[in-house]
A = this chain, B = another copy of it.
Amino acid sequence: MKHDRPKLRDVARLAGVSTATVSRALSNPDMVSEDTRAAVHAAIEATGYRMNLAARNLRHQRTGGIVALVPNLANPFFSQILSGIASVLGPAGYNLLVADTTGAGPDLLLDYAEPSRADGLIVLDGNFPMVALEPGRVPVVQACEWVPGLPAARVKIDNRAAAGVAVGHLLDLGHRRIGHVTGPANNVLTEARIGGVRDRLAEAGLPFPDEAVYQGDFSLDSGRQAAGQWLTQPRDSRPTAVFLASDAMACGFIGEVQRHGLSVPGDVSVVGFDDIELIAHIAPPLTTIHQPRAEIGRLAAERLLAQLRGESQADGDTILPVELLIRASTAPLAI
């Protein structure tokens, strides 16, 4: 008998008012008189009514959801960003939808920018198809990575400067041959960070030869492979310090170096990037660039919400500060 969920109409009938009144009692309480409001609430209580969000959203032309497009969900780097995003979206009454962009064609990705799918988009992937901001598509905020031509808000760090700081630290320690393990090709972060390295070395009047550049892809394994290359290079010409574009790679690098009987920082100083959870606790604790991930997520979400409220301009960068955390994986150049 009570198999069907009660609808607004049922509540209205029981309370002896129209559906319009019930609707108003719920979403615009001040528009209905004290008495009716009470009657309506009693009826809601009695029927166990719960509103159908799909219907409301259809009428309101909104979905109540924000999509976060992540390059690789399995990468723990993103979990804290998502956590930051969720911490803002939840209280604001929005759902967080998460989608992994790996293996998704441009068509599928653009689908997420449909107003009937989500009210907004937080893009963590620098390879998002640029058409995203066509009229009739939802507002977009980019976080961490960004799409070069895309006129959407960005929340990020200054990767170029951060890389410069990392290299500067190694220079301060007396290192003169400094290597760099890059991120994947065609990635804005890769470009920015390698640019920062190049700039800083040039500023110091030091060379940056091709042999000092190791192609990586942010993954632990690519860091190990970079170490493999480094190990084969002649001891007296290879880098005495290496800056890697991710902590995961730094981990792999250190592991491989140690496996070959060499020591960090004894034989090579290592600086990572990101400051992911565990790397403060490995041996040796990793010197790295701290990136405020949760904060990036929070701010990205907040900027998006501001746009949805029409409060904020749709572009402009928010640059968050990074911090060089000096731990035990770097040491003065041994003479």
Q: Which of A's residues lie within 8 Å of B, judged by CB?
A: 3, 5, 50-55, 57-58, 63, 65, 72-76, 78-80, 82-83, 86-87, 90, 95-100, 104, 114-117, 135-136, 220, 248, 251-252, 254-255, 258, 276-283, 285, 294
Contact = CB atoms under 8 A, between A and B. Distances in A.
Given A54-B63, A283-B258, A86 B98 contact: yes
A65 B116 CA distance: 13
Kindly report how many copies of this chain are found in the complex they form together: 2
Given A55-B116, A76-B277, 8 more contacts: A53-B114, A54-B57, A73-B86, A79-B79, A86-B98, A97-B97, A252-B281, A276-B278
B277 A65 contact: no
A132 B65 CA distance: 22
A114 B64 CA distance: 15
Contacts of A283: 255, 258, 282-283
A231 to B, nearest CB: 16
Nearest to A118: B95
Tell me the dominant secondary structure on chain A's binding face.
mixed
Contacts of A87: 100
Contacts of A254: 281
A286 to B, nearest CB: 10
